[in-house]
Structure 1
Amino acid sequence: MTTHHPTIRRLVYGHAQLHDCLAFADADTAAEEAEEIKALAAARTWGEARQVQMTHLWNPAGPECYEPEDGYPDDRPFKINDVGSVMEGDWPRMVTERAFELLPEDLQDRFGKRHFTAHNGDYLEIPIDHESELVAELREHGYEVTRDDELINVLDGRSFNPLAG
C-alpha cells in the first residue's frame, strides 16, 4: 500500500497583515475563494448577499443563517460587517490557520509557532524573516510556491474587516 501524500503541491503565500506573519493557501483555489469573499462584500442588499454562489466557502449571509422573515428582507441594505460570523471573525476563517493543512509537519515545527486565539482557534505564526529559507525548503519538497500578499489578505478578510488597519 502506498503512503498517501497530499495532492496540494501549488501554494500561494504572503504577508498576512492581521498576524504580521507569513500565511499559505492552496494556489488551485485561492483566487476563486478570494472572488467569493469579494462578491459577498460587494453585495448591496440582503437579497443579493443571500444569492452569492459559494463553491469553496460557505455563505455567512445565506438563507440557513438569515431569513427574510427574521428581519432581513431582500431589499434591506447589506453591510458585510453586520453579519454575525464576520463580526466574530469566523468568516472568512483565518488565513494563517491554513498552514496546518498545507505545510509538511516538519516544516511547521521548524519555521512556525502555534498560537491560540480565544475565539477563532489556533493559527501558525511563521515569522517574515523565515521566508526565503522556508520557500526554498518547500521547493525542495516539490511544491510550486508563489507570493501574492494581496490575495492572502483578501482571503483573510482584510478588504472589508473592521480590524484592518
Structure 2
Amino acid sequence: MTTQHQHLAYGHSTAHGCLAFADAGTATEEAAEIQALAAARTWGEARQVQMTHLSNPAGPEYHEPKNEYADDRPFDITRVGAVEDGNWPPMVTKRAFTVLPQDLQDRYGKRQVTVHNGDYLEIAVAAEDELVAELRQRGYQVSRDDALINQLDGFSLGSPAA
C-alpha cells in the first residue's frame, strides 16, 4: 500500500448534507478568493479580484464592462450568472474524486449525478470516523473544518454582498 503525505481538510457540506474533502494546501487561499469577490462593492472591484485557483465569474470575459456591468455599478455576487446557476464556486463535494484514493471513494461514497453541475461524491456523515481513520493510516493529515468546506462551496453566498 502506497503511503500518501497529503493534507486534507474535510467537513460537513451543508448544501449536500454529506462529507466533503479538499486539498488543505490550497483550500484557505481558494476560500479567500471567494470571500474577496463576495466583498466587492462595484463591478470594477469585482473584475479586479485576483484569482489564482478559481476563475473570476465577474470577469470581462463573462460580463462586458458597460451598461449594467459598468465599473461604477453596484456589485452583488448573488446576481452573477454562474453563482445564480450554482456553477461557481464549483461544488466542493466534487473534489473527493481527485483527493481521495479510488478504493475509498468506492467504499465510502456514492456518485450522485446532477443535471447542471456534474457529478459529486456523496459520503455519509456516519462514515466519518472510519474513513478519517483509514486516511490517517495511509499517511494523510486530515483536519475537520466545516466553515472552510462551506466557504469553498459558496454556501454563504446566498445573501447579497455588503
**What does 1:66-145 correspond to in 2, within 5 Å?**
66-69=63-66, 71-145=68-142
Q: Which one has more relative contact order, counting CA pairs under 8 Å at least 6 apart?
A: 2
**Root-mean-square deviation (CA), in Å?**
1.6
Report how far residue 161 of structure 1 moved: 2.6
The structure 1 segments of at least 4 consecutive aligned residues displaced by more than 4 Å after TM superposition are 5-8
Judge conservation of contact 2:8–2:24 (CA < 8 Å) in 1: yes
Question: 2 CA distance for matches of 1:138 and 1:70?
Answer: 51
Structure 2 vs 1, CA of residues 108 and 57 (structure 1 numbering), >3 Å: closer, same or farther? same
Unaligned runs of 5+ in 1: none
**Any idea what the Cα deviations from partners look like across 1:96-141, whole Å, max 9, x if unmatched?**
0000000000000000100000110000000001000000010111
Alignment coverage as a number of residue pairs:
158
**In the alignment, what sits opposite 1:28?**
25
Q: Is residue 2:54 matched to residue 1:54?
A: no
TM-score under structure 1 normalisation?
0.92
Pair 1:7–1:138, CA change in 2 (3 A): closer
TM-score by length of 2: 0.93
Q: Where in structure 2 are there 5+ consecutive unaligned residues?
A: none
Whose helix proportion is higher, 1 or 2? 2
Mark the CA change 1:120 to 1:6 in structure 2 (over 3 Å): closer, same or farther: farther
Q: Percent of pairs identical after alignment?
A: 66
